[in-house]
């Protein structure tokens, strides 16, 4: 395996993945200490928001943004919640591992082309591994960001989420936008051809002489 190509292909996505994982795990640990535990740092009052916890919520902006500690034992948006626990968690862990393997394969296939798509895959990779760490170590995923709309005789709540979920959603949106174009470009290259730089004049002369 070409080590130079390996480094060139994975350097940027893996660096972005690392940033997402660190940020995701740090904010989840913060949520546990600040929101979940009685007597935690912000359990009585979130200093910079000046808002006490009400029914397990810290109201940052009352009408649309709260912080709320939650433990999600299902997939994103509470999907698969009806599946028995003994089967659901191994299934989710297996799916996450397969997704990570699929993203790594896709990155290798793309090479160093399509930087925006590689950013998107790095986001998905970091988000998937961030939640996978929770499932393996805790048996559930920690969520704490609560977006909703209340007022004007209406109430709408988005499922509570975390940094890893945000990375997956943003990465997925970029894939929808740029993924098709990247695949079309890759498919347009005939087998045995690549989009590398053409040979120099000296290399062309040498090849012609032989």
Residue identified by tokens 């174009």 is 181
Q: Which of 188, 184, 142 is nearest to 165 (CA)?
A: 142
- Rounded CA gap, 168 and 122, in Å? 9
3-class DSSP state of 101: helix
Alpha carbons within 13 angstroms on the beta-carbon side of residue 48 total 2
Report the catalytic residues: 143, 165
Residue identified by tokens 């916890």 is 53
- Rounded CA gap, 175 and 144, in Å? 26
Residue identified by tokens 């109430």 is 155
Is there a contact between 13 and 119 (Cβ–Cβ < 8 Å)? Answer: yes
């Amino acid at each position: 395996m070409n080590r130079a190509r390996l480094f060139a292909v994975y350097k940027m996505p893996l660096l972005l993945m690392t940033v997402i994982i660190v940020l995701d795990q740090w904010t989840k640990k913060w949520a546990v200490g600040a929101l979940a535990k009685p007597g935690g740092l912000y359990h009585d009052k979130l200093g910079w928001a000046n808002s006490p916890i009400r029914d397990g919520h810290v109201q940052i902006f009352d009408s649309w943004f709260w912080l709320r500690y939650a433990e999600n034992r299902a997939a994103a948006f509470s999907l698969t919640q009806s599946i028995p626990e003994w089967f659901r968690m191994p299934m989710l862990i297996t799916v996450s591992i397969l997704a990570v393997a699929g993203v790594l394969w896709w990155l290798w296939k793309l090479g160093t082309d399509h930087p925006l798509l590689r950013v998107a895959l790095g986001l998905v990779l970091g988000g998937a591994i961030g939640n996978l760490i929770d499932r393996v170590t805790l048996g559930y995923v920690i969520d704490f960001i609560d977006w909703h709309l209340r007022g004007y005789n209406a109430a709408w709540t988005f499922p509570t989420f975390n940094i890893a979920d945000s990375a997956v959603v943003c990465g997925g949106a970029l894939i929808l936008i740029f993924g098709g174009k990247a695949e079309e470009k890759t498919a347009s290259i005939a087998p045995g051809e690549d989009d590398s730089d053409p040979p120099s004049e000296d290399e062309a002369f040498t090849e012609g002489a032989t």
